[in-house]
Structure 1
Amino acid sequence: MPTVLILFGLKFRIYTAEHLPPHCHVTSQDGQAKFEILDTVKLIENKGLKPKDLKLAEAILEENLELIQNEWKKMHGDF
């Protein structure tokens, strides 16, 4: 599970054996969440991330969406 970005204690990962829709896993010491990374960023699942960390993760993903999408494409091809 390659980590593609680490910021403010949040780790952004894309697993190698994944499924559609394209998404990114975000982990912190409190839990994890999964965000869809298509044209927009959308929360799919949250398991313990605090609301402030969810907002921060979403903002970071939106700011770095092209980078995250490109990492997905490197591992899984176009979507």
Structure 2
Amino acid sequence: MPTILRLGAYRFYFYSHEPNEPPHVHVDRDEASLKAWLDPVMLARNRGFRPREINAILAMVEEHRSMMLEAWHEYFG
């Protein structure tokens, strides 16, 4: 599970066994987790985050989208 970014309490990463899915990132904080697509940025699934926090996380993903896409393509080729 390569971690590509940490912002505050959030860990942004992807699983190394998901190369056949479109680019996306997983985000964890404590026991909460979500998956966000990167192109375009949108929520794929959520487990434990409240709507306001989801919006804040998606804004962080949007802000760092280029770097996340670059990390995805570097890792998966």
Residue matched to 2:73: 73
**Alpha-carbon distance in structure 2 between the residues aligned to 1:28 and 1:56:** 13
**Alpha-carbon distance in structure 2 between the residues aligned to 1:2 and 1:54:** 22
| Residue type at the aligned position of 1:66 | S
**Alpha-carbon distance in structure 2 between the residues aligned to 1:10 and 1:50:** 14
Residue matched to 1:26: 27
Q: Which one scores higher on RCO, CA 8 angstroms, separation ≥ 6?
A: 1
Q: What SS does structure 1 have at the residue aligned with 2:30?
A: coil
**Alpha-carbon distance in structure 1 between the residues aligned to 2:29 and 2:51:** 12
What is the count of residue pairs matched by the alignment?
76
How far 1:52 sits from its partner (Å)? Answer: 2.6
TM-score by length of 1: 0.87
**Alpha-carbon distance in structure 1 between the residues aligned to 2:61 and 2:10:** 11
Residue matched to 2:44: 44
4+ aligned runs moved over 3 Å, structure 1: none
Aligned-residue identity in percent = 32
Q: Structure 2 regions of 5+ residues with no counterpart?
A: none
Alignment check: 8 A CA contact 1:4 1:71 kept: yes
**RMSD after superposition:** 1.1
1:6-21 matches, cutoff 5 A = 6-18=6-18, 19-21=20-22
TM-score by length of 2: 0.89
